[in-house]
Structure 1
Amino acid sequence: MTNAAHPFDALMDITARPEVVFVRGAGSYLWDANRNRYLDFVQGWAVNPLGHSPVIVADALAAQARRLLTPSPAFYNEQSLKLAKALVDNSCFDQVFFANSGAEANEGAIKLARKFGAKYKNGAHEIITFEGGFHGRTLATMSASGKRAFEPLFEPKVSGFRKARLNDIVSVRQLINSSTVAVMLEQIQGEAGVWPASDAFLQELRALTQQRGLLLIVDEIQTGMGRTGKLFGYEHAGIEPDIMTLGKGIGGGVPLAALLATEHASCFDHGDQGGTFNGNPLMCAAGLVVLDQISQPDFLKSVVDTGLLLERELQRLSARHGLGEIRGRGLLLALDLKMPIGAAVVAEAFAAGVLVNSPQPDTLRFMPALNVTREEISLMIDCLDTVLTKVGAARRVA
């Protein structure tokens, strides 16, 4: 038996991590074991809409933990019933299945679509997804994703996913055949570099899927829960999908996800879907207080206003350094660096105490808490200004 020689060695090495251990978080800030403070514009990849360790989430978890952790999903519990009703009341959907991660919710959406095809469309099972899309890391959701890095991994993949091009309705139409049951997409492709589907494209897609009798599945793992300035991203286009998945922000920092469907699309039979911890009252208690706060009109308006401020500041930064466009919506934005310097910028910003993300070598992605302040935006911009000046000077010297 070999024991880990270093405290980090006991964790499986699945990604590069800086040798810093975070021990505390509050709002837009994290602190490491050496009491260094970091301004966080990643927030666990949009997981913390109310910032780190919000009091209302901590209080809800503590109160529920004293009452009931889980009775098993074989029984109803009060918190899951309340959260499901609140989600239905705030959306165009009729039923909810709770899960523990976005990938699990998307896996459920794929299963639901295939069940729909088996019951109502002569066994149709293919789902049209999109180049650049990202839907998770289970075998089925990796297969559904259009991420090139996934292509050689874990073969053989799950079959039945055909890839169209985002904002190209002709490419979707050309892939539809008698085996097609659904179209599935992110309204903003986050991992690909924050590439939005246009409202016009989403409207065309909804019309096409209705015309051909197909289900429309929106993956709102990253765009849902107020991230774009509306509670759900599909609202911007004025459409009503058949299925939606939520994750990340719905739990306010704890593992919670949801699969929502219209009555038309809800066709699971008993035993088709389940999960040991799904819909447990502890996580749903957190989801309830998060949804209650985020769904307030004043809160959503503040996301719009703050997003516009961040966008303007990034545009000024881009103009100053000769960079590219700003993409995204609300508080899910990207800066096109026009050069593959993302990793260097992230590393320099980290050393300066600011956390940003580079999903692609030439892109920075910003996913701050939805209640991020103007002062915090200013501090982040000032840091990036310094970092970009330094990185740009280093490139000129090289």
Structure 2
Amino acid sequence: MEHQQQPQNVSRQNFDDWMVPVYAPAAFIPVRGEGSWLWDQAGKDYVDFAGGIAVNALGHAHPEIRKTLHEQADKVWHLGNGYTNEPVLRLAKQLIDATFADKVFFCNSGAEANEAALKLARLYGHKAGGEKNEIIAFKNAFHGRTLFTVTAGGQPKYSEDFAPLPPAITHLPFNDLAAVASQISSRTCAVIVEPIQGEGGVVPADAEFLQGLRELCDKHQAVLIFDEVQTGVGRTGELYAYQHYGVVPDILTSAKALGGGFPIGAMLTTDRYAVLFQPGTHGTTYGGNPLATAVAGKVFEMINTAEVLSGVSKRHEWFIAGLKRINDRYHVFSQVRGQGLLLGAVMSERYKDQAKQLNTLAAEEGLIALIAGPNVLRFAPSLIIPGADIEEGLNRLERAVARLCV
């Protein structure tokens, strides 16, 4: 085939021409970021309240993260899993020292971390004998896009087109402990739960619900898995949300903020379960490579400080106050829920299911936010976003709200 020159100028139209249409991206293309700001091809600026879907926990192009990336890039990028490396060992020790875990498995995404967790739980069930293979999950949950994790997620719109789906996964109402108590049995190998349902509408779990799940899992010898892909690494104001609730899981999954923008995932667990995975049982080519783990190690070191974690709670209050100010004037939200810097503003009855419309207007006003279903505007900004940027972003949001409410 004749070699064609790579195009120098690309546009949003090229996405429709060249990309498999699994996304419907915004009309503009961001090309540069710094802190909590982004700029598009036309030079227009945006305040970033989305954080790459709770990923850019230290904003864009943080100088210390860039320095770490450059230093590791000058050494070694990738080795494959026939070898270990220094950055991955250091990051594993950081995670173990800061959490309940004894062992860590590294991969490339939240879906992969949850896939590993669910496979480990099924393996545990098989070793226990009998028919111990049921996984209890929750309606409106989201755990990833692999066939196993999309089935565990309780949103049929994401899974039904890919049937037949992996069996023995039961979906129950979130925050309904009685439903779990009536379903769980000796056949149950695991319960998987998000401490805050992110994609499902930013819905926090009740403390009694998570405590009850822990007790039921202990009673029936089932593995309790916390999916902390979105809530982990400082997002709620604690390092991990389980510390917020005082409920310790058997397996925890982490990704998103862990790499601060560099793809990485991790499954944390105790020796009791880790020993079930042996060489050849599970693996990944890129997981735990030196480039990703060096970056994640620096991100984790910077976030796991009293100053940053307490700063998340302070910023939470600024957001709540600013959103209340907007809502007092326009009555566009029925409630704001969430913890730390994972917030969901629920559209009021008059503006029901117009979250996407408001998000589009916000982008036109120079604010990047998220949605969590058709009725919730979601915010997951940098954990260190300056107060002035929060104020400016909320001012832009108010202009968008004013347009929606005319």
**TM above 0.5, one fold?**
yes
| Shift of residue 27, structure 1, vs aligned partner | 0.9
Deviating more after overlay: 383-392 vs 107-116: 383-392
The aligned residue for residue 296 of structure 1 is 305
Instruction: Establish whether residue 7 from structure 1 lines up as the match of residue 14 from structure 2.
Output: yes
- 2:107–2:266 CA contact under 8 A, matched in 1: yes
- How do residues 14-29 of structure 1 correspond to structure 2 at under 5 angstroms? 14-29=22-37
> 1:166 — aligned with what?
174
Q: How many angstroms apart in 2 are the aligned matches of 1:191 and 1:121?
A: 35
| Partners of 2:378 and 2:209 in 1: CA distance | 23
Task: Give structure 1 regions of 4+ aligned residues with deviation exceeding 3 angstroms.
Answer: 3-6
Select 2:288's aligned residue among 279, 284, 303.
279
- SS, match of residue 58 in structure 1: helix
Is contact 2:237-2:310 (8 Å) kept? yes
Aligned match of 2:401: 388
Question: Equivalent residue for 1:91?
Answer: 99
Post-superposition offset of 1:178: 3.1
Match of 2:382 in 1: 369
Query: Percent of aligned positions with the same letter in both sequences?
Result: 38
Counterpart mapping for 1:254-269 below 5 A: 254-266=262-274, 267-269=276-278
1:396 is matched with none
Which secondary structure state, in structure 2, belongs to the residue aligned with residue 327 of structure 1? strand
1:198 aligns with 2:206: yes
Between the aligned partners of 1:318 and 1:291, the Cα distance in structure 2 is 35
Residue 372 of structure 1, CA deviation: 0.8
Determine which of 321, 326, 329 is the counterpart of 2:330. 321
* Deviation (angstroms), 1:19: 3.0
3-state SS in 2 of match to 1:209: helix
Equivalent residue in structure 1 for 2:372, among 347, 355, 359: 359
Q: Which position in structure 1 is the counterpart of 2:257?
A: 249
CA distance in 2, matches of 1:159, 1:314: 43
Cα distance in structure 1, aligned partners of 2:247 and 2:136: 19
Match of 2:224 in 1: 216
Give the equivalent residue in structure 1 for 2:114. Answer: 106
Deviation of the 1:161 alpha carbon: 1.0
- 1:179-200, CA deviations, whole angstroms, 9 ceiling, x for partnerless residues? 2101001111011110010122
Q: Equivalent of 1:179, from 187, 192, 200? A: 187
Structure 2 counterpart SS, 1:268: coil
Length, aligned pairs only: 393
Is the CA contact 1:165–1:171 (under 8 Å) kept in the aligned structure 2? yes
State the shift of 1:381 in Å.
1.5
Contact 1:121/1:181, CA 8 A, preserved across alignment: no
| Matched residue type, 2:370 | N
Q: Which moved more, 1:143-152 or 1:240-249?
A: 143-152
Amino acid at match of 1:274: G
- 1:143 is matched with 151
CA contact (8 A) 2:186 2:220 kept: no
Q: 1: distance between equivalents of 2:150 and 2:70?
A: 35
Cα RMSD between the aligned structures?
A: 1.7
Q: 1:315, 1:325 within 8 Å by CA — same for their partners in 2? A: no
* Pairing 1:11-50 to 2, within 5 Å after superposition: 11-50=19-58
How far has the Cα of 1:297 moved from its partner?
A: 0.9
Q: Deviations over 1:50-90 (max 9, x none)?
A: 00121111111111111111221111111100000110000
SS of equivalent residue, structure 2 residue 160: coil
Give the whole-Å Cα distance in 1 for the aligned partners of 2:381 and 2:69.
23
Instruction: Give, in whole Å, the separation in 1 of the partners of 2:197 and 2:221.
Output: 25
TM-score calculated relative to the size of structure 2: 0.94
3-state DSSP of counterpart to 2:99? coil
Q: Is the 8 A contact 1:224 1:231 kept in 2?
A: yes
Deviation at 1:227, TM superposition (A): 0.1
1:385 and 1:19 mapped to 2: Cα distance? 21
Gaps of 5+ in 1: 394-398
Partners of 1:329 and 1:34 in 2: how far apart? 35
Deviation (angstroms), 1:271: 0.6
- Where does 1:68-83 land on structure 2 (aligned, <5 Å)? 68-83=76-91
Helix, strand or coil: the match of 2:74?
Answer: helix
3-state DSSP of counterpart to 1:153: helix
* Cα displacement (A) at 1:177: 2.8
SS in 1 for 2:244: helix
CA contact (8 A) 2:242 2:248 kept: yes
Please say which of residues 376-385 and 4-13 is displaced more in the overlay: 4-13
How far did residue 285 of structure 1 move?
0.3
Do residues 332 (structure 1) and 342 (structure 2) align? yes
Cα distance per residue 1:180-224 (max 9 Å; x no partner) = 101001111011110010122111111111122111000000000
Q: CA deviation at 1:121?
A: 4.2
- Deviation for aligned residue 1:151: 4.2
User: Which residue type is aligned with residue 300 of structure 2?
Assistant: L
By how many angstroms is 1:16 displaced? 1.1
Equivalent in 330, 337, 341 of residue 354 of structure 2: 341
2:283 alignment partner, SS class: coil
CA–CA distance in structure 1, aligned partners of residues 395 and 84 of structure 2: 50
Matched residue SS, 1:170: helix
Q: TM-score, normalised by structure 1?
A: 0.95
Unpaired segments of 5 or more residues in structure 2? none
Q: C-alpha separation between the residues in 2 aligned to 1:351 and 1:311?
A: 23
How far 1:373 moved relative to its partner?
1.4
Distance 2:397 2:30 in 1: 22
**Using the alignment, how far apart are the partners of 1:256 and 1:348 within structure 2?**
32
Counterpart Cα distance in 1 of 2:303 and 2:168 = 36
Once residues 295 and 29 of structure 1 are traced to their aligned partners in structure 2, the CA distance between those partners, rounded to angstroms, is 23
Any conservation in 2 of the 1:318–1:335 contact (CA below 8 Å)? no
Letter in structure 2 aligned against 1:370: L
